Structure 1
Amino acid sequence: MAVNTRIFHCDEYFRLPRKEKKEFDSIILKELEENPVRHLETEWGRFENMPPMSEEEIDRLAEDVLSEMSLEQKVHQMSCDNYARYAPINPPRYNFIPYYAGENLELDIPAVKFTDGPTGIVLGYHATAFPVSIARGSSWDTELEERVGDVIGIEGRSGGANFFAGVCINLLRHPAWGRAQETYGEDTVLLGKMGAALTKGVQKHMMACIKHYAANSMENARFKVDVQMDERTLREIYLPHFKACVDAGAAAIMSAYNRVRGQWCGHNSYLLNQILNGDWGFEGLVMSDFIWGVRDTVEAANGGMCIEMYATQYFGERLVEAVRDGRVDENRIDEAVKRILRQKIRFSFVGDRALYSENKMGSKEHAALALEVSEKSTVLLKNDGILPLDRNRIKKITVVGRLAAQPNTGDLKGSSAVFPPYVVTPLQGLVNEAGGSIEICYVDGRTPHQAQELSKNADAVVVVAGLTSLDEGEFITNGGDVGGDRKNLGLHSEDEDLIETVSGVNPNVIVVLQGGSTIIVEPWKKFAKAILMQWYPGMEGGTALANILFGRVNPSAKMPVTVPATPQQLPYYDMDATEIVYDYYHGYFLADKNDYAVTYPFGFGMSYTTYSYSNARASVENGKIAVSVDVKNTGKMAGDEVVQLYVGYKNSGVERHVKDLKGFTKVSLEPGQEKAVTIELDSRELAYYCETSKGWIVEDIVYIAMIGASSADKELLKAEFTLK
């Protein structure tokens, strides 16, 4: 019996038996060989090499182009150029080449040419692999993140894309979330500032898309879960970071798979039409998440969706029919298409073509930035005097653990998988640093007795432990469940046992953690003299680790998440939920509320030097608040310190957090040097959302500025102020 290749939805393909899938694939591949896809001869088609335009002129040109289009041509702009029957064919893997949407050869209109992220550009096999986003969040360095975006934009254009969908800013509500590595942490201000920085960098070259809007903080249940929350929680916790990126000029927003208050995010008129396009004045386009991001033609089109990706299933002919039947007003189509055309026109002017070529992908210059980012995003969590290592005293180092010799750059099976030209492992980084003067001995740790024997006489033992893309990341069910949300927030039991085992014969144990989210350390913390959180550290992670261990680099990173002592200090989480409530408290907000003694607070990170804070003060003028503090390097090594500003509220008329992060900055200090550091706020940043008046209210109360080295109360100096 012949295989039916006239499928409407990718699900029909996924349900085919393995034998029929192979037959289907061969038929479709033959079709594509006989009828290869044609593209425009120029990058931007009719928008190529136009003189600079004002926003008004761009708007008029978009209207002129729109007026030339038939209904079918308009709807094609809103539809992926892949049909469902072709979508499962991904040679040689997901997003190896850009995905096209809305290319029109007849009207000479270019496509949206999609590439994914956020660890770097997903295209090809030679892209720069940066540390994952949660690692970059640990740098608390917006200028550095903008430089990362600049490189990503160059490599995206070099690979033939014009649209980067890797600005992931979903809030990390619970560290079990499988895709925590793709975002910047647990706080909306940190997310917003880092996401806006990446957006600005990318958009020097191509369109940036912010994802996944909104309340997407679960992996296994993402296609079914309905997230319930009150309006204050939505407006104050789960949306401000998206608005920050919209305010930074983001070209596009990608909707999430999940429901919010019963409505699919890709159909959610309240989120898309009322808040995004209405309240925030967003002028860009909305793209669906792939395959299951749109589930109904009419609801999606009326709900504010502009482009269905990455297969045409509900738009295309079905959307044309819906317009002709009167179920979707053609004005809705015109509005969506105009949004798409405006961005294609705007970004035809962006960038410098002299910068774009295949040899830019994974270039030495870009790899050097990946190294710098890894150095600035590795968090020193514990140091009982063992670091930095003194190479004049160190003669032998034993490196223990399978991950020490294994490239481990993050998720390798999902939409964020980046394939660099090489990866420096921790072991290789230490071997390179040691040269011929220090003996490096390696054991994978599978035989604990062997690890003990080789660790006995070492001057230091470096244990590399943690997670891989088999433990977390996108949830893949074909051929056995891998990735997805984490059931265990600690290390694998064999890793914990290994740390205890080697510490029994050598007290000088340094543990290096790899992974994409919080790792609870309490069961074995006492066995380590030093602990570093390196996350998934990118293609130059091994070099960065060696530079830090030997003191070439002074660690400056701070945790973008809270590390609890036990899972009970976290909010409720059910990875299989069909409905879940997100409330006002998670992370350090929940720890503050319940006075939890967490292991490492949000914003915590150590250095090889020490800093003192003094003379906190706050001033207010014309609605602008300036909070200042004097920071001094009281140690013997130059370093960078992340200064964090939180605000608390005295006698607020509504329930509020004990404190909220409101700003941060990084200061560089030589030994003995002192600088005055000032962080500025607008009074509107102190507002809460009033559900009764449906607006933001800035209270006339006493505010408490808390400024210091982390969110822990003992690390913060306080200064009260009012807005009068």
Structure 2
Amino acid sequence: MSEYIKIDHIDQLLAMPLARQKKFREEVLKHVKENPVHHMESEWGRFENVGTLGKDEIEDLVTEVMSEMTLEQKVNQMSADYTPAVIQFVPDRYNSEPYYAGEDMELDIPAVRFTDGPSGVVLGYHSTAFPVSMARAASFDPELEKRVGDVIGIETRSGGANFFAGVCINLLRHPGWGRAQETYGEDPYLLGIMGSALTKGVQNHAMACVKHFAANSIENARFMVSVEMDERALRELYLPHFKMCVDSGAASIMSAYNRVRGEWCGHNKYLLTDILKNEWGFEGFVMSDFIFGIRGTVDAANAGLDVEMHATQFYGHRLVDAVRAGEVPEAQVDDAVRRILRQKIRFAGVGSPEKYDRSRMGCAEHAELSLEVARKSAVLLKNDHVLPLDRTKVKKVLVAGDLARTGAIGDSKGSSAVFPPYVVTALEGIQKAAGENVQVEFARGVVEDELRQRGKDFDAVIVYVGLTHLNEGEYFPSSADAPVGGDRLDLGLTYKEVGMIEAAAEGNENTIVVLQGGSAIQVEPWKDKAKGIIMQWYSGMEGGTALGEILFGDVNPSGKLPVTIHAKPQQLPYFGLHLETVDYDLYHGYFAADKFQQEVSYPFGYGLSYTKYQYSNIRLASDSITKDGTVSITVDVANTGERAGEEIVEAYVGCLKSEVDRHVKDLKGFRKVHLMPGETKTVTIDVDAENLAYYYEDKKEWVVEATDYMAYIGASSSEKDLLKKGFRIV
């Protein structure tokens, strides 16, 4: 047996001297070249032509297949098809090709073929790069997100995969979380709505995996931190969005690296079996996060961890031995295998094979959707009569900042890195949108006086600043002195970037700041220096095109913040880079801003437009509803400006006389409405009373209180932007 096969844990590789690792890599590459892996010729093996089966038919077929399987073949379904050595040394980069698990050539059972996300398909070098999830959340548009999911599903299958593990819905508790860009913000309802939409879109074509279960919102310490919280915080904040995705039919859930109440999530029977499978009735399978997702065989298997990915370390022969030793019941293995086969059969009948071809990856049609998302996700934070730029009056524009010509689309080094066929930079997009009659020049801006003096000769200065994969994203401790990515403790811009803004504003009063990043960036104290501020996030392969269109008024911005931009770090919950334990409670983001009456820079749900909207005439269908009833919140929204636009109407509900400590209000619904100048539309948002419950820890049940409530509806989470009306549940 080759040495690389004997090495079955990543720690054995890491323990090798560097010189030995190099030689060992050469040996592995030689072995793989001489012994190439051959996969099944058909996409779905014995399930290729089963068609669309009913639930009972699927179960019968699963039973039939399992009757043919040995214990080793069952465990193979639960195990990745790679050793740590192959995964470490053979691929040219992470997930350039699908990762396989559970392929059985003898029984003709297809593999789970994995691709990562979530801003597009990680496979290959021509995938469509969409704006990151945080940006897409700013669109508040689940139908648009479902379309994104549909394209991702097509590109998943086109790239040779059948399993997309990019539905990331971890709650953003602190905006410094390094991987904030991969999720949808700070509110569980928004996370659930957008995550469910992406799941449904992807599953038109492929299995979707929702991650990371649960309470994974610290990056640097993800392999050791234990999240401590009471049952109410767990149930009300950190689990509801996962249940929404489960209820939407998600095929798989990925466990998290971290611990919850001291127990590794991949070993956490309470989370994986008691809640997910038994209480929620989840019929799919649970897979581990990679390499350090589980720490042992018996505890993980007995907890309900169904598939070890992306290299087999603790399952495989170790799990077979554990079953034969009586440490893991074979019934536990049978349950896992049934769940895996159930989804393979289910998705063998999904999709249209004629749609799946490598040429579809990054194609013009998909790039156009990425552009649409970029247009709808930018958030206009400030506009002091400077935007949009008028091409008939503005003749010279200066663009400052190196980031304007880099084409950053998000984390380019980690598991979410997408490689599109091209990227339109901010500078390119501005130049294109400006047209032939507007002169656009570039300045690095590193010499402040140069920027100050040059800026005087232009009609407007656009300062493009913010974050890159070096500042945030997946954490890579490349050396003790120079780690890359990870969590941010400093949420503001750098001293040099602030200097650029101040210098530009001193030289030109029409200074516009465009922010790039995956989460909130503090704007104090420089925001008063700028006349316009746009939060563009990481905006995908067509982000530059969208920015140019927005700046010159071809597109009216409509995005709103899925995160609170706090005024100072003291307003935020405790956070650290190397925590072994951390306490989570009910308060962060706008929940904390409400409770502690914090004056924030920009509230959750905030975003301006090039037109004006007026809210009036809030009313409820009834001032009193039953515990199984629905409150219908209605408002009139008028476009009082001169441009057509899309407004996101937000509905919140708060319990006024609760028996327990509760949020002042929670987001419970939103609608996007298109309005022409002078047009008024009536918007109604329905909220079921059961969605106003709190979790009663002693009785282990949800309770809808019969008491007084307040309904809010308007343009942001800030009370000054909301109309309100009381009602009662009886």
Match of 1:534 among 533, 536, 547: 536
* Counterpart residue type for residue 288 of structure 2: S
Contact 1:102–1:111, Cα closer than 8 Å, also in 2: yes
- Asked whether the equivalents of residues 471 and 486 of structure 2 are also in contact (C-alpha less than 8 Å), the reply is yes
Match of 2:638 in 1: 632
The 2-side partners of 1:89 and 1:55 are apart by 41
Name 1:481's counterpart in structure 2: 483
Contact 2:131 2:540 in 1 (8 A): yes
Q: What SS does the aligned partner of 2:53 have?
A: coil
Out of 694, 715, 722, the residue aligned to residue 709 of structure 1 is: 715
TM-superposed deviation, 1:10: 1.2
1:141 aligns with 2:147: no
Q: Deviations over 1:431-468 (max 9, x none)?
A: 11223211111011122232223212100000000000
Change (3 A) 1:204 1:5: closer
Match for residue 561 of structure 2? 559
Partner of 1:117: 117
> Partner residue of 2:52?
52
Give 1:261-280 correspondences, 5 Å limit.
261-280=261-280
Match of 1:641 in 2: 647
Correspondence for 1:598: 600
* CA distance, structure 1, for counterparts of residue 294 and residue 493 of structure 2: 37
2:675 maps to 669
Matches within 5 A, 1:13-92: 13-92=13-92
Displacement, 1:469?
0.1
User: Normalising to structure 2: TM-score of the pair?
Assistant: 0.98
Q: Is the 8 A contact 2:657 2:709 kept in 1?
A: no
8 Å CA contact 1:561–1:587 kept in 2: the answer is: yes
1:580 is paired with a residue whose SS is: strand
2:136 partner letter: R
Aligned 8 A contact 1:167 1:199 in 2: yes
Specify the alignment match of 2:365 in structure 1. 365
Match of 1:222 in 2: 222
SS of 2:85's equivalent in the other structure is coil
8 Å CA contact 1:619–1:721 kept in 2: the answer is no
2-structure distance, mates of 1:474, 1:315: 26
**CA–CA distance in structure 1, aligned partners of residues 636 and 16 of structure 2:** 66
Which consecutive aligned stretches of 4+ in structure 1 deviate over 6 angstroms post-superposition? Answer: 2-5
- Is 1:544 aligned with 2:537? no
Matched letter for residue 571 of structure 1: P
Partner of 1:510: 512
Residues in 2 aligned to 1:16 and 1:397: alpha-carbon distance in whole angstroms: 56
- Inter-partner Cα distance in structure 1 for 2:524 and 2:432: 32
Secondary structure of 2:167 counterpart: strand
Distance in 2 separating the partners of 1:143 and 1:90: 39
Which one is further off, 5-14 or 644-653? Answer: 5-14
Partner amino acid, structure 2, of 1:211: K
Match of 1:172 in 2: 172
3-state SS in 2 of match to 1:483: coil
**Structure 1 residue aligned with 2:303:** 303
Q: What is the distance in 2 between the residues matched to 1:676 and 1:217?
A: 38
1:491: which partner in 2?
Answer: 493
CA contact (8 A) 2:645 2:675 kept: yes
Aligned to 1:338: 338
CA contact (8 A) 1:10 1:87 kept: no
Q: Residue 616 of structure 2 aligns with which residue?
A: 614
Cα distance in 2 for partners of 1:696, 1:363 equals: 47
Alignment correspondent of 1:425? 425
Partner Cα distance (1:11, 1:184) in 2: 34
Q: Deviations over 1:243-293 (max 9, x none)?
A: 000000000000000000010000100001000001100000000000000
Q: Shift of the alpha carbon at 1:52?
A: 2.7
Residues 194-230 of structure 1 show CA distances to partners (whole Å, capped at 9, x for unaligned) of 0000000000000000000000000000000000000
SS in 1 for 2:86: coil
Query: What is the alpha-carbon distance in structure 1 between the residues aligned to residue 205 and residue 516 of structure 2?
Result: 32
SS at match of 2:291: coil
User: Which blocks of at least 5 consecutive residues in structure 2 are unaligned?
Assistant: none
Counterpart of 1:196 in structure 2 is 196
Contact 1:3 1:20 in 2 (8 A): no
Hey, what does 1:249 align to over in structure 2? 249
The residue identity in structure 2 corresponding to 1:648 is G
8 Å CA contact retained: 1:5, 1:24: no
Work out whether residues 29 and 90 of structure 2, in 8 Å CA contact, stay in contact via their aligned partners in 1.
no
- CA distance, structure 1, for counterparts of residue 30 and residue 203 of structure 2: 38
Deviations 1:558-589 (A, max 9, x none): 00000000000111112210001001100001
Q: Hey, what's the Cα distance between the residues in 2 that align with 1:503 and 1:379?
A: 21
Within 2, Cα distance between the matches of 1:36 and 1:163?
A: 23
Q: How far apart are 1:16 and its partner, in Å?
A: 2.7
Q: Which residue of 2 aligns with 1:685?
A: 691
Q: Give me the whole-angstrom Cα distance separating, in 1, the residues matched to 2:342 and 2:87.
A: 27
What is the CA distance between 1:5 and its match in structure 2?
6.8
| Percent of residue pairs bearing the same amino acid type | 60
Count the aligned residue pairs. 723
Partner secondary structure for residue 504 of structure 1: helix
Measured after TM superposition, the shift of residue 112 of structure 1 is 0.2
How far is 1:49 from its partner?
1.3
Q: 2: distance between equivalents of 1:668 and 1:436?
A: 32
Alignment of 1:387-536 (within 5 A): 387-479=387-479, 480-536=482-538
CA distance in 2, matches of 1:50, 1:182: 35
Separation of aligned partners in 2, 1:318 and 1:581: 35
Residue equivalent to 1:321: 321
Structure 1 length-normalised TM:
0.99
Match of 2:458, SS state, is coil
1:20 to 1:346, Cα distance in 2 relative to 1, 3 A: same
In 1, Cα distance between equivalents of 2:525 and 2:12: 47
Contact 2:5 2:83 in 1 (8 A): no
Show the counterpart of 1:577. Answer: 579
SS at match of 2:664: coil
Partner of 1:695: 701
The alpha-carbon deviation at position 3 of structure 1 amounts to 8.3
The alpha-carbon deviation at position 15 of structure 1 amounts to: 3.3
Corresponding residue SS for 1:193: helix
- Deviation larger for 529-538 or 678-687: 678-687
Q: Aligned with 1:484: secondary structure? A: coil
**Distance in 1, Cα, partners of 2:6 & 2:458:** 65
Paired residues of 2:451 and 2:507 also in contact (CA < 8 A): no
Q: Which ranges in structure 1 are unaligned for 5 or more consecutive residues?
A: none
| Contact residue 192 and residue 240 of structure 1 kept, 8 A | yes
| Equivalent position SS for 1:216 | coil
| 2:206–2:350 contact (8 Å) kept in structure 1 | yes
Give me the whole-angstrom Cα distance separating, in 1, the residues matched to 2:306 and 2:295: 14
2:18 counterpart letter in structure 1: R
User: What is the 5 A alignment of 1:380-391?
Assistant: 380-391=380-391
Shift of 1:89: 1.9
Given the superposition, is the C-alpha separation of residues 4 and 362 from structure 1 closer, same or farther in structure 2, using an over 3 Å criterion?
Answer: closer
- Return the alpha-carbon distance in structure 2 between the equivalents of residues 663 and 5 of structure 1: 53
Paired residues of 1:3 and 1:23 also in contact (CA < 8 A):
no
Q: Name the SS for the 2:475 alignment partner.
A: strand
Equivalent pair of 2:654/2:665 in contact (CA under 8 Å): yes
Q: Is residue 2:725 matched to residue 1:723? A: no
Q: Which letter does structure 2 place at the counterpart of 1:533?
A: M
Paired amino acid for 2:11: D
Shift of 1:51: 3.5
Shift of 1:718: 0.7
Contact 1:226 1:260 in 2 (8 A): yes
Residue 619 (structure 1) shift: 2.5
